Amino acid sequence: MAAMEMQWNSLDSTCVSLFFHVIFMILVLTGLNAAVAKRKPGLALSQGELMTVYVMLSMGSAVMGRDSLENLPSVLGFMRWFDDPTNRLNRFFSFVPTWMAPADRDALRGYYIGNSTFWSPRHLAAWLPPILFWTAFIMLLTWVMLCLNVLLRRRWTDDEKLSYPTIQIPLSITTTATYRERMLWLGFAIPVVVQTFNNLNYLYPSVPHLHLKLQDLGPYFAASPPWNGLGWMPVGFFPFAIGLAFFLPLDLAFSCWFFYVLRKLIDVGCVVWGFRDPGAPSALARIPYIQEQGTGAWIGLSIAMVWLSRGYLKDVLVAAWKGGSDPHAGISYRAAALGVLGGMAVLTGACVAAGMSVWLPIVYFAFYFILSIGITRVRAELGPPAHELNWVNPERFVVSLVGSQALGQQNLTLLSYMFWFNRGYRCHPMPHQLEGMKAAQTLGMEARRLVWAMVLAALLGSIFGWFALLDTYYRCGEATPKIAAYATGIGREAFSRLQDWTDNPKPLDGMALTFTGGGAAVTLALALAKARFFWWPFHPIGYALANSYALEYFWSAIFIGWLLKSMVVRYGGSRMYRQALPFFLGLILGDYVIAAVWSLWGWAMGISTYRTFIF
């Protein structure tokens, strides 16, 4: 992953709900297992064992992935290395404990310039305390998530019977009967052929290609007011995303693209009403406050889930007090409740020891875990291709709530060191944990063993992730062209924001909080209508996703998947729908396999290859 995502930037594997490399490895393992089963049936793995491997690979990758550990070294080293008289980052040095980030600038020279080794005594001494602290921090985060999943699992899985669309894909591909479907191979062949030509075109431009990645329609409207209000209007036709969209419930898929288009039309309306005119007050120019609406939408979504589950949560707390448990969760309710409280207490204590005000980590982690529950619920019910929430994070919420001036430089500095796991949530571990529990229940696996397998996978993913990343950066240099610019950009994002907060102190933002409350109110209203009227077509999850960057890449693919599914269901009924499912599964697998194969080939040859996903 260090080479694939950070060095060559050839495959954004952990930017989507189903990780490219994990699906590819499970496909290969399933094929090898089928060959073993024919000759030595006793040595073959069961489907439950294959799914255990899948869940462990997913957990380890989630801990290391794009919006997790891969972001952390860039944040830890940035301030010391890039300090200069213009940004004056040295004014923040005293706020950072030496056990949180390396303080030896000379030890960072090889990290940024390259042609060095991480394994020298000086480099190891500089990095070891932060590695130990942040590894423990990661394990605490994932432990609290796991305990929350134990408390919520029965409600979502057994009572509401959510469909868990994402985990259905690996469950299908670990069953040999899936590969007997001719439609699957037809769907598989389409992206393999198209993406092969695209890869060849990347290397040899004379080869014809078919552009499937994002294309911006915005420039076509730039000179045509008020349609120039559309701004960035990306359209992409990723085969795997169209395939995943076909598995989504129709009302959810419709709500996703509908609210995204509505959001863009509101931007057009803002141009008509003069909110984008030169000289317009900044409070008006920011309308409709998409970032704040998105924050409110996810808060409202979580509040709605808690309110609708209030009776169940009361029963769980009573069961925890009496020592009850869920046999499909692997941990007793009492242990899970104590795990949440204890984990929150230790996380809060660590932040206070670093220098944060006592109240701040309590609010911060409460928001973070509420958001985590919302993301997990969305995955369990909707299974979107991705859940990138770049505009929604606890730092932004806290600054809007009390103002950067009131927080002070020390709190703001330490909040900036939390940016690495709050940038986008694309590879959030909590949904993978709950999907693992769903797979265990479906296949009759022992839940307790799977729980500890996930804990082990998180630990191994963190340890090996650290060493893979630091070894790569010291050899190649994070600030050199040998490493994707994204790596250094993460640290730049975190500390540019810190500079802005400090150099331009902001009071409490009343308008931002108003739109945050408005986003929450709209979500609650949509959830109430959805619960009361079975015919209601608008889903609150679609509104939350459309206002939080998650659909910028995928709205057009979801629209195509929704349109195709609507036509199949309307004109062919359930029989045609079941017949079509293998074809769309083939689209997903073909896109994943060819992307992984070309990425591996590029890694082996030491060259960059065509990126199947995003740009």
CA angle, corner 357, sides to 466 and 363, nearest 5? 75
Summarize the confidence of residues 534-555 as an average pLDDT. Answer: 89
Per-residue tokens: 284:
């008006």
- Give the integer Cα–Cα distance in Å for 110 and 131: 17
What was the pLDDT predicted at 322?
86
User: Do 209 and 197 form a contact (C-beta atoms < 8 A)?
Assistant: yes
Query: pLDDT-based confidence at 13, cuts 50/70/90?
Result: confident
Start-to-end CA span in the chain (Å): 19
Note the pLDDT tens digit of each residue in 106-123. 999 999 999 999 999 999
* E strands, 205-312, in order: 215-216, 234-235
Q: Distance of CA 536 to CAs 256, 454, 520, 533, 540, Å?
A: 14, 38, 19, 5, 11
- Closest among 155, 99, 137 to 373, alpha carbons compared: 155
> What are the residue ranges spanned by the domains of the chain?
2-605
Q: Is the pTM of this model over 0.85?
A: yes
Lowest mean pLDDT across 66-80, 321-335, 455-469: 321-335
| Element (DSSP H or E) covering residue 486 | helix 485-503
Lowest mean pLDDT across 101-115, 260-274, 404-418, 480-494: 480-494
What was the pLDDT predicted at 7?
66
Q: Distance of CA 104 to CAs 78, 126, 431, 591, Å?
A: 12, 6, 37, 44
- Give the integer Cα–Cα distance in Å for 340 and 411: 24
DSSP alpha helices (H): ranges in 103-120? Answer: 105-113
Q: Distance of CA 80 to CAs 159, 207, 553, Å?
A: 52, 46, 34
Contacts with 365 (C-beta within 8 Å, 6 or more apart), sequence order:
344, 347, 348, 394
Report the DSSP pairing between strands 215-216 and 234-235. Answer: antiparallel
What was the pLDDT predicted at 8?
65
Q: What is the 3-state secondary structure (H, E, C) of 211-241?
A: CCCCEECHHHHCCCCCHHHHCCCEECCCHHH
| Burial class for 163, CB neighbours closer than 10 Å (0-12, 13-18, 19+) | middle
**Most confident segment among 326-330, 383-387, 424-428:** 424-428
Name the average pLDDT for the chain: 92
- Give the integer Cα–Cα distance in Å for 461 and 448: 20
Note the pLDDT tens digit of each residue in 495-537. 999 999 999 988 888 888 899 999 999 999 999 998 888 889 9
Query: pLDDT-based confidence at 604, cuts 50/70/90?
Result: confident
Q: Distance of CA 274 to CAs 18, 230, 267, 409, 514, Å?
A: 42, 14, 11, 37, 21
SS3 content of the chain, % helix, strand, coil (to 5): 70, 0, 25
What was the pLDDT predicted at 452?
95
- Closest among 409, 416, 377, 410 to 393, alpha carbons compared: 416
- Give the integer Cα–Cα distance in Å for 503 and 257: 39
Q: Does the pLDDT at position 2 exceed 70?
A: no
What was the pLDDT predicted at 599?
87
What was the pLDDT predicted at 152?
94
Give the orientation angle of helix 485-503 with respect to helix 404-416, to 10 degrees.
160
Task: Provide the 10 A C-beta neighbour count for residue 40.
Answer: 9
